[in-house]
Amino acid sequence: METNRTIAIICSKGGLDEVYPALILASGARQSGLDCFIFFTFYGLDAITEAKIDHLHVNMVGNPSSPMPTMLAGLPGMENFAATMMKKKMVELDLPGAREMIGMLDESGCELYACELAMKMFGLKKDDLVPQVRDVITVGDFYELTEGAQIIFT
């Protein structure tokens, strides 16, 4: 009996440039017919928090891949500038925004979950999250739900 491959993605970071790898990996998994789950924890919760999903930034300070010197990257407005430039490039590449991408993933059958411990740490309730999040679960619940899956940590 053949079973479908399953991918379990853990999204732990909340920057625009940090959230998209998880979303793109999940989209690719669903397009390839794989079952897919995303577990949002710690700052990754920003990607599914209603008040933050449309305002993800790019952290330039301390980013070793940034072409911008750290001294410049720390100036006021640089994170917004970098996020604006990245969003502009994403539009040119016809990539949907984070909110639209989350909706597309949900419609494709990707299951989205929030980490219960991180939610408590940041004082969040399920009502604070976008409606596509199926549930707030523990790490143990996530492992049980995704038993046998390939796990990707972003």
DSSP 37-67: EEEE-GGGGGGGBTTTGGG-----TT-TT-S
**What pLDDT, in 10s, does the model give residues 91-134?**
888 889 999 999 999 999 999 999 999 999 999 999 999 999 99
In the chain the domains, ranked by start, together with CATH numbers, are: 6-153 (3.40.1260.10)
Tokens of 65: 């891949």
- pLDDT at residue 51, rounded to an integer: 97
Residue 2 has pLDDT above 60, yes or no: no
**What pLDDT, in 10s, does the model give residues 76-103?**
777 777 777 777 888 888 889 999 999 9
User: pTM value?
Assistant: 0.88
**More reliable by pLDDT, 25 or 78:** 25
**Separation CA 25–CA 7 (nearest Å):** 9
Residue 11 identity (one-letter amino acid): C
| Closest of 38, 41, 49 to residue 13, by C-alpha | 41
| Closest of 6, 10, 30 to residue 137, by C-alpha | 10
